[in-house]
Amino acid sequence: MAKFKDVESMSAKDKQAFIKGWERFLKSGMKRTLFTDRIYTHLYLHCGFIAHYNLEQFYEVRIQDPKGRRETFFQLLNYLPAQDYRDVHSEMGVIIQKYIKDILKQTDEQEIEEIQQERSSIGRRLAELIKE
């Protein structure tokens, strides 16, 4: 694991704890229960994301939604943070690379399921219109 340096608003120990939680979150398949306040706060303070209104909304829009998830990981892999957070951000990237295939597979499967549900809904609605 990387060696982190203390900075004014985040100690090396805090960075290490964040990274540990980040990996646990990604390894779990991004379970909501592991999307902690520490992860949410780091993402909006140090990774260029807006705060949304709260952790739940951020998770729904940026993690749970397939399009938002793709945008989130694209941004994380292409964002250059302030100098104080480059060590932790670099380690985040290493961890993302470890799990990105699983993340994208999960995203693809979710998008396919949503498309199938939409098609089914459209089919039901068309059948109703034909009956009318």
Is residue 19 within 8 Å of residue 89, measured between CB atoms?
no
Q: Which residues constitute the domain of residue 98?
A: 12-131
Residue 40 domain flag: yes
Q: What is the mean pLDDT of residues 86-108?
A: 92
* 91 band by pLDDT with thresholds 50, 70 and 90: very high
Domain count, the chain: 1
At 51 the pLDDT is: 63
Q: Model's pTM, two decimal places?
A: 0.82
The Cα–Cα gap between 64 and 107 comes to 9
Residue 119 domain flag: yes
At 122 the pLDDT is: 83
Residue 6 domain flag: no
What angle in degrees, to the nearest 10, is found between the helix axes of 86-131 and 37-46?
100
Q: What percent of the chain shows pLDDT beyond 90? A: 62
Residue 61 domain flag: yes
Residue 62 domain flag: yes
Residue 36 domain flag: yes
Residue 4 domain flag: no
Residue 2 domain flag: no
The Cα–Cα gap between 2 and 90 comes to 9
